[in-house]
Structure 1
Amino acid sequence: MIKPTESELEILNILWTNGPSSVREVNKKINEQKEVGYTTTLKLMQIMTQKGLVERDESSRSHIYSAKIKAQDIQEQMLDKLLNTAFGGSASKLVLSALGSGKASARELEEIKALIQKLEHDGNQ
């Protein structure tokens, strides 16, 4: 199981959203939120390449990095760990805690309701 750090996750999210990117492009996106030096981003992405989180295309002058793992795979790993360590394996405690935070938008709540209805419908067949 690959465990990306918070900084690595930030870079992965940029690559998942924007697709293959140069270090400069990734660093520019990071700097929209906080000040991070180019060499710091470069070093992180080199480490991520060694860890197998990203792959580097060296065919052009500016190396292009792309995520080697899918967002869904990392999300599932992290969710399983959170579910088991913080919520004792209880999906309902996790969901109730997430919804109780008040951070779900009306659109997200509608999507959740639709998913629950689908699961109930599929379970009754």
Structure 2
Amino acid sequence: MAVPSISELSLLKALWRRQPLSAREIHEQVADELGWSFSSTRKTLERMLEKGMVAQQQRHGVQVYEAVPDKVDTLAAFAHDFGKRVMEIDTPLPVTMFTGSKLVDRQELARLEQLLQDWPDDEAPGSKDGGA
């Protein structure tokens, strides 16, 4: 699985919290965090659609988006990338880093811990089957 960019992750997080959402609704969720225009949100969504990170449907005459990648797999890939590339840690990050997160519940936290512990040395979580 490819690790999304920081801005792509922001849009995915908005969708994981509540989906489907229109481009305008996504923009309203991330505007303060990213500080960019609606057209930038639309352009990022278009790129994410091309990459297969979001799916687009029409509901009640409005284009809406849903996240395609699994939230926990994506967060595990981010954690692994951060640990390995940024912190130069070759062992799994402790799941206690993520306690108190508003993004994951207890079940997801347990699954995240399992993914990080079972991680092959050269693969990101979710890449065993060709990605999400």
TM-score bracket, normalised by the shorter chain, equals 0.5 to 0.7
Q: CA RMSD in A?
A: 2.7
The CA distance in 1 between the partners of 2:76 and 2:35, in whole Å, is 30
Task: Spell out the pairing of 1:40-79 with structure 2 (5 A cutoff).
Answer: 40-58=40-58, 60-79=60-79
Query: One-letter code of the match for 2:17?
Result: T
**Structure 1 residue 34, shift from structure 2 partner:** 4.7
Moved over 6 A (4+): none
Alpha-carbon distance, 1:79 to partner: 1.8
Structure with larger Rg: 1
Q: Tell me, which stretches of 5 or more residues in structure 1 are unaligned?
A: 106-110, 116-125
Return closer, same or farther for 1:78/1:23 CA change in 2, 3 Å cut-off: same
Deviates more, 1:61-70 or 1:30-39: 30-39
More helix by share: 1
Task: Give TM-score, length-normalised by structure 2.
Answer: 0.64
Going from structure 1 to structure 2, the CA distance change for 1:56 and 1:83 (only over 3 Å counts) comes to same
Aligned residues, how many?
A: 101
Is there any run of 5+ residues in structure 2 with no aligned partner, and where? 101-105, 111-132
What do residues 37-76 of structure 1 show as CA deviations (whole Å, max 9, x unaligned)?
Answer: 1111111001000001000003543200000011101111
Whichever residue aligns with residue 36 of structure 1, its letter is W
Q: What percent of counterpart residues are identical?
A: 22
Equivalents in 1 of 2:32, 2:12: separation in Å? 16
